[in-house]
A and B are shown apart, each in its own frame.
Chain A
């Protein structure tokens, strides 16, 4: 990243103030409804955590630069300048206590997309050198190594070798013309290697061709989290180039919420062109396979299960019915938590919060909201579809002494796949009939 300075930060913020942002600032009625939608506010009851307040420095720049009254006040020396010290103070509000979950944007009565404004605010924070060290490290590793956690290709190849031995399946790398390009998050490579095996089993069973890319295996986009469109665009372009070179039909975003937003929704705008391939979250792909009769499962979980909707999937992507359709195939006792679906409460660690050690205390405090959702449900296990949610849920549950396993949906489905021998018998019966 280029050297940061306050001037660069202010300039970045000015560049972020486009017509929608100007309209948002003009139309905010200070009603406070966004406060009650934010888990950092509801669990702390501190006015500084009111979502719209988190963009106050950007609002002042908008007022001072782009409004008549604000310009007059600036000329008369009546307005307060945004300083480096102020931005340093705001780091706690813009990064530590915001997961970009988008719940505030859902409730704003005048339609302000507050979450996207905080994302834009991060551009100024990063450019002025006021991003948290954890996110600076993750972004630097993403650009230099290709993974926010420093995972290199030989490590991925070693994990593949392990997976081949375990499953006896092929894990194609750089296969031109495959139907799917599978992306992974570093979290899955390091913490949940079962995910890759699950994907291989399911796509093999469905008779689909797929590949990984040696040039772009990583889905996580630290540029989005830190607030650097340049980094975000560089990371997206690596995937786009790989997908184009390999001539794949669909890029599959893994069980990682913000990776999906980055490549699916922000991606084409970041690289400035329409993609020549489709982008889907893994749950969308699995649900399509289900609908086409290509995802065949056997057996049902007897445990009482509930599902934690990753916020980027439901609020940014509308992926709401798909996990429920899939769970119906394997869960005999499924219950919804209160506010499930589009208004589900964030786990408290998305949007870069988990990479930011400064946020450790507040993210665990914010988990009280998830605890309230789970209390009284009496479930035996919690299912989700985001590796970051998963690890934070485990942390929060342990912190609250709640004995509840957290399971990945893709892995669960793979566990329930009809065994190949059963499947062959079924096909033989179909033919003979």
Chain B
């Protein structure tokens, strides 16, 4: 429960992991969706946008989430660059956004061994990184800092509304 989380400001990956361990299932999904929302502009796939919109709804039902999960599984495959095909880093950014969104709505029973929220974090950072490569921009990837702020704001909003 959020009341048990003893961090209010996230400033590094250790903090992030620590928060993730303490989130309940709904908050886990909503935080994941917020992280993907931050890179959502890097994809044009409507399936991904619909899925994140649904995942951000606190009251989303398992059936609704199951439906978007099915469409995203296909979207992940569709957006993968096949071996030997000419790669496009903008498309690759979109692929990682899709991968992250898929992780957000993957049912708990089908999750793989890697921590799901951490997979979302990594995929979102990769999406940003691919976008920087696509634009030949060699500046530092700012996504991690954005993520710290997103999660910090989430925690603060939760504690304000609880108080």
Contact = CB atoms under 8 A, between A and B. Distances in A.
Our verdict on whether A and B bind, yes or no, reads: yes
Contact of A405 (B74, B112, B122, B132): B112
B125 A162 contact: yes
A410 to B, nearest CB: 13
B86 A166 contact: no
Q: Which 8 pairs across A and B sit closest by C-beta, in order of nearness?
A: A355-B84, A405-B112, A138-B84, A149-B87, A354-B83, A388-B83, A162-B129, A158-B133
Contact of B86 (A149, A220, A388, A398): A149
A354 B133 contact: no
B89 interface: yes
Range of interface residues on chain B?
20 to 34
Interface string A117-150: 0000000000000000011011001000000111
A191 B81 contact: yes
Contacts of B76: 394, 398
Contacts of A355: 82-85
Interface residues of A, number: 46
A134 B86 CA distance: 9
Nearest to B86: A150
16 contacts: A137-B86, A138-B85, A149-B83, A149-B84, A149-B85, A161-B129, A161-B140, A185-B83, A186-B83, A187-B81, A194-B122, A349-B83, A354-B84, A355-B82, A355-B84, A407-B113
B83 A187 contact: yes
Interface in A201-235: 220, 222, 225
Interface of A: 134-135, 137-138, 141, 148-151, 154-155, 158-159, 161-162, 165-166, 185-187, 190-191, 193-194, 220, 222, 225, 301, 303, 349, 352, 354-356, 381, 387-388, 391, 394-395, 398, 403, 405, 407, 412, 415
B80 A412 contact: no
B84 A148 contact: yes
Interface of B: 73-74, 76-77, 80-87, 89, 92, 95, 110, 112-114, 122, 125-126, 129, 132-133, 136, 138, 140-141, 144
Nearest to A331: B113
Given A191-B80, A387-B83, A415 B114 contact: yes
A301 B112 CA distance: 10
A323 B126 CA distance: 28
A159 B138 contact: no
Given A165-B144, A398-B77, A403-B110, A354 B82 contact: yes
A166 B122 contact: yes
A134 B83 CA distance: 10
Contact of A381 (B80, B112, B126, B133): B112
Nearest to B109: A403
Best-buried of B86, B114, B144 by chain A (most CB within 10 Å): B86
Nearest to A158: B133
B102 to A, nearest CB: 11
Nearest to A355: B84
Best-buried of B77, B84, B85, B126 by chain A (most CB within 10 Å): B84
Given A149-B86, A166-B122, A394 B74 contact: no
B70 to A, nearest CB: 9
Contacts of A155: 89, 133
